[in-house]
Amino acid sequence: MAANYLDTVNIWLNGNYDAATKEAIQQLQKENPTELEESFYRSLEFGTGGLRGIMGVGTNRMNKYTVGMATQGFANYLKKSFPAEDIKVAIGHDSRNNSRFFAETTANVFAANGIKVYLFEALRPTPELSFAIRTLGCQGGVVCTASHNPKEYNGYKAYWNDGAQLVPPHDKNVIKEVEAIHSVDEVKWSGGEANIVIMGKDMDDQYIQMVKDLSVYPEVIAKQHDLKIVYTPIHGSGIMLVPPVLKAYGFTNVTVVEEQATPDGNFPTVAYPNPEERETMSIGLKKAKALDADILLGTDPDADRVGIGVKNHKGEWVLMNGNQTLILAFAYLIEARKKKGIAQPNDIAVSTIVSTEMARVLSEQNNVKYYSVLTGFKWIASLIAAKESTENYIIGGEESFGLMIGDKVRDKDSVSAVALLCEMAAYEKANGRSLFDKLIELYIQYGFYYENLISITKKGMNGQKEIAEMMEGYRSNPPSTINGSRVAELLDYELSVGKNLITGESWKIELPKSNVLQFVLEDGSKISARPSGTEPKIKFYFSVKTDLQNKEEFDEKYTLLEEKINGIVADMGLR
């Protein structure tokens, strides 16, 4: 271990850290020096979204001290940003181990800095935290969650006064303030407890009413109230609000997956608490099949992502991918608003650069203006803020199982998404169709788009370096062909430059900088490479397209598109 890491270890052993922390460090010194190095070789980075990491002792772990120092930096920035205001923040957390402890630690530090704190009485979905910030007129907020990461992880997501996660310039400015905190002795740990207000049912009721107001066809639900719905919160915070929202909508036949109903940070029934994973949704699928349900829904631990299962055209239960869910939601809200006569000429829909292009085609063919932004709902929220005086945001979504309906919440919201998707299932059932039937009809109408992704994780201290080298290789030496098709365009969002590799023409990309590369092929395929901002992981997104003439040729065309993506993956050496 390098001497500077040992210096940091000694600071923790001799500084104002609790006895349990010092004992844990000493145990690592004796039993697991490799883990000790991993825990102290760097400081856990406060990125543009906040903190996320493995829980444990050390500067590179989620613990009381890294959370406290981050909060002190955030508090300092809030006070500089709003010098003439009485600052308020809202704080929430999910079901993860230590989430309540981290939320209370955060509350105590804010309160000790003279900031009024609204702390949820217990776990709540992340979108309700965003809603609370806006409802209470807070200048900021924090939710303690690591989303769908494995159980060893926790995190700290910071929010601004619009209820959205931090965007420029606030993200970088908060990072500077956090990095300026060099010692736990600079943190105000206690003394402001009177500034903490506990909130619960009243905020729940306001949020539920807001979601209920998003319904377009309550009269259809009244007729289809016994739609067979199976829901799993996957041991997370969705259990607090999803069943009450479905009840408020008027659904009377909701089955909660009992084995996954109890909040539990160990997530005992799954390897990863992620509704994108078939294994995670397997218990729900089994229950849905046994009940001959109409729809299965699952939400992740902080209830911002939603996964759905439906019966396909063969009667087999399948899980929709994030892009398919996005398309169903976009189509329903846009078409329903048009049929109801409530569509506005300035309606807009928003998605991200790595999500399906079908969202653009569907929106524009229905005379809804479409915007494409960087990955992450903070960018959708930022666009809403920029356009809200002139344009009417109705829906946004991204491929990673996130939807945001209406503008009262400024982060992805699986609670309202569950309600909307169930309403859509009821609407289609009333018209003699399943959701899968509807999806095929959309493919026939707008083009058969198919997407997939691969995540490659590089663990350990060299992981981030290996990913950076991979991206640099693609950037400096892009492939000329992929899977037999010429690379027509290279879009470099880090350099803000798009280039036609055939003609040499280049142009400026009018979006904030982001370390994303996209290859657009002559045959219309699109490949995106995007390193994670929170994990040593790089994601590759693949999108291919063909025409679909009728329902009967769906299977054949689906197989062709799958084979095309497999060919791209093989040619790029990614599997």
d(CA 396, CA 424): 16
pLDDT tens-place string over residues 4-34: 889 999 999 999 999 999 999 999 999 999 9
pTM of the entire predicted model: 0.94
Q: Is residue 70 over pLDDT 90?
A: yes
Residue ranges of the domains in the chain? 42-199, 207-216+225-446, 449-571
> Where residue 460 falls among pLDDT bands split at 50, 70, 90?
low
Q: What is the mean pLDDT of residues 395-421?
A: 97
What is the DSSP code string of 476-533? HS--SEETTEEEEEEEETTTTEEEETTT--EEE--S---S-EEEEETTS-EEEEEE-S
pLDDT tens-place string over residues 239-281: 999 999 999 999 999 999 999 999 999 999 999 999 999 999 9
Q: Is residue 479 over pLDDT 70?
A: yes
Active site residues: 147
Closest by CA position to 51, among listed 115, 117, 98: 98
- The CATH architecture that domain 449-571 belongs to is 2-Layer Sandwich (3.30)
pLDDT at 271: 92
Pairing of strands 347-352, 369-373: parallel
Q: Is residue 3 over pLDDT 60?
A: no
pLDDT at 464: 80
Q: How many CB atoms lie within 10 A of CB 280?
A: 25
> Where residue 533 falls among pLDDT bands split at 50, 70, 90?
low
d(CA 262, CA 260): 6
- The helix (run of H) or strand (run of E) holding residue 12 is helix 3-14
Q: Is residue 2 over pLDDT 80?
A: no
- The CATH architecture that domain 42-199 belongs to is 3-Layer(aba) Sandwich (3.40)
Q: Is residue 424 over pLDDT 50?
A: yes
Name the 3-class secondary structure at 223: helix
> Where residue 1 falls among pLDDT bands split at 50, 70, 90?
very low
- Percentage of the chain beyond pLDDT 70 is 99
Q: Do the beta carbons of residue 527 and residue 542 sit within 8 Å?
A: yes
Q: Number of H helices and number of E strands within the chain?
A: 18, 23
207-216+225-446 shares the fold of 42-199:
yes
d(CA 116, CA 51): 22
- Of residues 201 and 148, more confidently modeled: 201
> Where residue 151 falls among pLDDT bands split at 50, 70, 90?
very high
Give CATH superfamily name and number for 207-216+225-446: Alpha-D-Glucose-1,6-Bisphosphate, subunit A, domain 3 (3.40.120.10)
> Where residue 537 falls among pLDDT bands split at 50, 70, 90?
confident
Q: Is residue 392 over pLDDT 90?
A: yes
d(CA 175, CA 180): 9
* Per-chain mean pLDDT for the chain: 95
